Amino acid sequence: MNGWTAAATVLLGCGLGTALWGVATGPLRRRVVAQNLSTALACPGLLLLSQAYGRPSYVDLGLVLALLGPVGTLVFARLLADELAEDPPSARGVTWAVAGLGAGAVIALCVATGPSRAMVKLLVIGALLISGNLLASRALSGGFGGAGRG
């Protein structure tokens, strides 16, 4: 048990646990936001576990999650567009807090890794994670309402 394991446990236990509880209960506007944030919390958790166990292959799981999480949210945003238009979710504070958490985890891992190819990979994953999460969150709150062509 080192600091990385502890950080990953706290992140997955408190963060992902809360997100899953949010997905399972409450109104639709809260569920979709929690669904979006659950992948944004699981990705830094996997990155921290990769450092904790010394298994670089876990980083690839984080990369896949950072790519596919926002894509999954966009599918929900499209399928539930009518319901979400009546009661649009707005979770600016939580979204930015989770984005900051992800950025903090990536920066800490970069410091631990040192300047190398692995650090560039971590930065790419971090950029994908944060930008994808913010885009998906904006799509959920109807930010791209005029962009669709039917």
Partner 1 sequence: MNRRTALLATAEVLAWWVGLALLWLVLISTVDTLERVVGAAAAGAGALAAAAARRAVTGR
Interface with partner 1 (CB under 8 A): 56, 63, 117, 120-121, 124
Shortest distance (Å) from residue 97 CB to partner 1: 28
> Given the complex with partner 1, which of 3 and 56 has the nearer CB atom?
56
Question: Among residues 55 and 78, whose Cβ is nearest to partner 1?
Answer: 55
Closest approach of partner 1 to the CB of residue 57, in Å: 8
Q: Nearest distance from residue 56's CB to partner 1, in Å?
A: 6
Residue whose CB is less far from partner 1, 33 or 59: 59
> Are 62 and 46 within 8 A, CB to CB?
yes
Which of 32, 65, 55, 46 lies closest to 106, judged by CA? 46
- Least separation, in Å, of the C-beta of 99 and partner 1? 22
H or E segment at 33?
Answer: helix 28-53
Terminal C-alpha separation, the chain: 52
Q: Please give the Cα distance from 69 to 12 (Å, whole number).
A: 16
